[in-house]
Amino acid sequence: MKVLFVLANGGRGGMQRVVTAVAHGLVAAGHEAVIAVGGAAPLDADVEVLRMHAFNGRTGGLAFHRDLRRAIVRLRPDVVHGHGLRLALALGRFGVRRPVALTSHGGPKSSYRSAAFALRLLPIQTIACGVGPQAALAAVGVSATVIPVGVDPVPQVATKDELAARYDLEPTQPLIVVPARLTPQKDPHLVLAALERCAHVQAIFFGDGPLEASLADEVAVRGLTDRVRFAGFVPNVAGLLGGAHAVVLGSQYEGHVLAGLEAMAAGVPFVATACVGIADWATSGEDCLLSPVGDAEALATNLRSVLNDGVLAAHLVAGGRATAATYSSAAMVAAHLALYEDLVAR
């Protein structure tokens, strides 16, 4: 089986990590996998990566389409599998001669509406990375197969004291970790607003993005300079999660957020917003604590509850480990391979 994965852009977000994990799993199982990616953003992959022109507009642009067509002609893949809704129009035209699949990894409501026409009318097998994106697709008349994301066991590579020392924080005070790109979707400003309401709680933000400058300004305005660190992108950050008292996300929407599953697998309480891509697979009070999207006071209340109630924290950790155990990388790869084999056999 030879699969050509297509990404409109590189990066180090959850979608890119899922693609590289599935591609790695296929190669490890004796199949072939190549990732074609638009633009020059980094992509951490241990399989062949083909660089294409940047994706522009709704269809990708002539240069992107030309590069993709050449890759398909040269590689002759059994399946072309795109990731991200904005690829729908670009990929649909290739679905006549070979199976084409497209996975939704979440997005704002407008992204589903924009992709709906292509997904309904063009020969594309639509996949959702979780039940939240599946429901959003159904709302615009698109049926999708769910293949959930998966995580591996998360080894702890730093204790709480070591993590605090590494980032010059006070080891005797509570420490949270925010493993998220600094983008509007992840809403790190909400986490800062919640942090201001939690005395003595410290935070490390792992991730980079366009909001970095505005976040640094907000930290100063809120008087959080001594309690907040921006670490930028750190490889294999999942191993550092075990050094925190909680993992916190303020997301506006998700697909099926890997960071939440990794927090659970690492045995760390997960505190987040009840957005699409989290509330549809995590259960508040059992394996996490969730609050309304955009509500800083509610997020702060949940965070204080986890930090001040050891019994509650232990309950969430146990529930989180049980939840994470149901989402393995091996199962994710196997489900993709089964789908590819079914598509080729049709």
Task: Assess contact for 18 and 105: CB atoms under 8 A.
Answer: yes
Q: Name 83's bridge partners.
A: 7, 103
How far is residue 9's CA from residue 258's CA, in Å, rounded to a whole number?
Answer: 19
3-state secondary structure 153-207: CCCCCCCHHHHHHHCCCCCCCCEEEEECCCCCCCCHHHHHHHHHCCCCCEEEEEE
Helix (H, G, I), strand (E, B) or coil at 7: strand
CATH number, domain 160-324, options 3.40.50.12660, 3.40.50.2000, 3.40.50.300, 3.30.420.40: 3.40.50.2000
What distance in Å separates the CA atoms of residue 109 and residue 129, rounded to the nearest whole number?
16
The CATH 3.40.50.2000 portion of the chain extends over: 2-150+328-345, 160-324
CA distance 148 to 166: 34
Q: How far apart are CA 148 and CA 137, in angstroms?
A: 15
The pLDDT, as a whole number, for residue 155 is 85
Positions in the chain short of pLDDT 50: none
Both tokens assigned to 223: 């008087």
Query: Tens digits of per-residue pLDDT, 142-177?
Result: 999 999 999 998 888 889 999 999 999 999 999 999
What is the DSSP pairing of strand 2-7 with strand 79-83?
parallel
Q: What angle do CA 289, 293, 297 make, to 5 degrees?
A: 70
For 62, residues 6+ apart whose C-beta sits below 8 A from its C-beta are: none
Does domain 2-150+328-345 sit in CATH 3.50.50.60? no
Angle at 307 between CA 306 and CA 313, to 5 degrees: 45
Cβ-contact 181, 10 below 8 angstroms: no
Tokens of 201: 């709680």
CB 242 within 8 A of CB 154: yes
